[in-house]
Structure 1
Amino acid sequence: MKMQVKDIVSKSILTPGKGQLDDYSHSLNPYAGCAFGCSYCYVRQLPVSLYREEEWGTWVDIKSNAAELLRKGLIKAKKKGPVTIFMSSATDPYQPIEVKTDLTRSLLEVMLEEQPDFLFVQTRSPLVKRDIDLFKQFGDKIRVSITIETDKEDIRKAFSPSAPPIPARMKALQEITDAGILTQATISPLLPCSREFPKKLKNIASRVTLDDYWMGDGSGGRRTEKLGIYKIYEQVGMEKWFNPTAYKVVLRMLQEEHGEVGLSKNGFMPGK
């Protein structure tokens, strides 16, 4: 299916933090829509997706005036108090179109000129390592997080076939960590994984955070339930993993390997 891509002029770029992101002053989304189209993405149940004719994962809007809006928005926001930014909450800032647009990179350049107090970069794309040179300039005011929801490629393909391979994500995270940048391996949402998963994450990130649908979709799992995700668990013979207590076993294994592990909302707090 051909991806529908278009440029749009956005009215705003910094959104006040609320709900799961109320620890941040703002969220920042360079794009609307996401080419990765993960089956479990809670954004599928938000207005940006529900009121769109095209299916989630088949369209991307490029906010062509994002850099200009961000510069103005940062200057204004910084006058009111500390500015902490989560990029991104409803799209992936490093999805494939970023290779052509450099839009996310342009926003990082703006934020280096008008630095926020803290920037959290959330992605599942190895492309993020392209911007290591800019990340370094933020010092300890930035954390780069890569989603690694499982270590099993067959599971990744079942739930998010258009998302980047797990080994490539791990390699990118290792490179960013080795560059001296604060990082995070984000297991969100937790998908069926092997017992070796915690060991595979050893030393590739500064810290690890674990989340699942019930804690992290912003509705106690109701949004996820509407997506019919359980059918995929049935198809791969992993029904027992679709359980609000399944994370506890993995959490214990992670703690044995890594010590302190972030859990859901608290694992994304700025500056920690």
Structure 2
Amino acid sequence: MDIQLKEIVSKSILTPAKGAIDDFSHSLNPYAGCVFGCKYCYVRELPGSIFREEEWGAWIDIKTNAAELLEKELIKAKKGGPVALFMSSSTDPYQPIEYTSKLTRRLLEVMLKNQPDFLHVQTRSPLVKRDIDLFQQFGEKIRISMTIETDKDEVRKTFAPSAPPIPARMAALKEIKEAGIITQATIAPLLPCSREFPAKLKSIANRVTIDDFWMGDGSRGRRAEKLGIRMIYEDLGLEKWYNPSAYKVVLKMLQQEFQDAPIQLGVSKSGFSPDRK
């Protein structure tokens, strides 16, 4: 697939957080669009995607002035109270273009000069481990969250064929955790997995959040239905996994493994307290 790349000048870079991430103060998206093109991605149904000529996964807008904007907007945001950032809510900050643009890395360098109170980095790309040297400088003010929807890569290939392989994601998160950085495994959305999945996550993540097509859909499952997710499950012969109660089985196993850490339901909450410095 040919990817349509476009450099744009953005008017702002920090967006007040709302909806599923309203526990954060702002979201931060270095790019618009995402080449991973996951079949279940809710961003497919947002206005910015629906009205594009290219299909989801075939275009990326690079916010060339993002670092300059962040330097100014972060100062202003901190005057209004504690700043907890979610990077990123509608793109992946470590998709392949980041190899050459290094835009996300520049944003991290800006944040190190004037640190937010908390930074949550959400990705599904092993490239994230490139910036371990910067993450370590944030101390306890940062959490690296890797989306790991299943431990079965054959399932991943059906729902997200262009996304990085599951083993590579797990290996990257393990390396980040071993570097002393707080890590999270985000099972979002939960896809068919093995009974060993929770145990596999135990060694690579400090905490886990689990979401599905009903909690995180934003419209109680209607978006997922519109995207044809049910039909994919039927084609795989895994209809029993496509129901609002399926997550409870996996949740119970996760709770057994992560007895010393709460399991978050729905999109990740910041866990940030203004009193924690």
1:56 is matched with: 56
How many residues of Structure 1 are paired with residues of Structure 2 in the alignment?
A: 271
State whether residues 84 and 270 of structure 2, in contact with CA within 8 Å, keep that contact through their aligned partners in structure 1: no
Tell me, in whole angstroms, the C-alpha distance in 2 between the residues paired with 1:219 and 1:13. 26
1:248 is displaced (CA, Å) by 0.3
Q: Distance in 2 between matches of 1:221 and 1:22?
A: 20
CA distance in 2, matches of 1:271, 1:246: 29
**2:270 corresponds to:** 269
Map of 1:113 onto structure 2: 113
CA distance in 1, matches of 2:271, 2:263: 15
SS of equivalent to 2:202: coil
Superposed displacement of residue 213, structure 1: 1.3
Q: Where does 1:222-241 land on structure 2 (aligned, <5 Å)?
A: 222-241=222-241
Tell which deviates more after alignment, 230-239 or 185-194.
230-239
In structure 1, the residue matched to 2:145 is 145
8 Å contact from structure 2 (residues 24, 269) kept in 1: no
One-letter code of the match for 2:165? P
In the TM superposition, residue 262 of structure 1 has moved relative to its aligned partner by: 1.4
2:84 matches 1:72: no
Identical aligned residues as a percent: 72
In structure 2, the residue matched to 1:154 is 154
Q: What's the CA shift for 1:224?
A: 1.5
The offset of 1:114, in angstroms, is 1.2
SS in structure 1 at match of 2:120? strand
1:240, CA displacement in angstroms? 1.0
Q: Deviations over 1:142-175 (max 9, x none)?
A: 0000000000011000000000000000000000
One-letter identity of the residue aligned with 1:45? E
Structural mapping, 1:51-200, within 5 Å? 51-200=51-200
Q: Where in structure 1 are there 5+ consecutive unaligned residues? A: none
Tell me the alpha carbon deviations over residues 56-78 of structure 1, each in whole angstroms, 9 at most, x when there is no partner: 00000100000001111001111
Look up the SS of the partner of 1:27 in the other structure.
Answer: strand
Task: Tell me, in whole angstroms, the C-alpha distance in 2 between the residues paired with 1:82 and 1:30.
Answer: 21
TM-score (ref. length: structure 1): 0.98
2: CA distance, partners of 1:58 / 1:221: 25
SS of 1:77's equivalent in the other structure is helix
Give the alignment's TM-score, normalised by structure 2. 0.96
Kindly provide the amino acid, as one letter, of the partner of residue 39 in structure 2: S
Deviations 1:171-219 (A, max 9, x none): 0000000000011011010000011111111221111111111001222
In 2, Cα distance between equivalents of 1:7 and 1:255: 44
- Deviations 1:205-249 (Å, cap 9, x if unpaired)? 111111111001222222121111111111211111110110000
Indicate if the aligned counterparts of 1:118 and 1:270 stay in contact, CA closer than 8 A: no
Report what 2:201 is aligned to: 201
Please give the alpha-carbon distance, in whole angstroms, between the structure 1 residues aligned to 2:270 and 2:136: 20
Structure 1 residue 4: Cα displacement? 0.7
Moved over 2 A (4+): 267-272
Q: Which runs of 5+ in 2 are unaligned?
A: none
3-state SS, counterpart of residue 214 of structure 1: coil
1:20 deviation in Å? Answer: 0.8
The residue type paired with residue 238 of structure 1 is L
For the residue of structure 1 that corresponds to 2:129, the secondary structure is helix
CA distance in 1 between partners of 2:269 and 2:177 (Å): 17
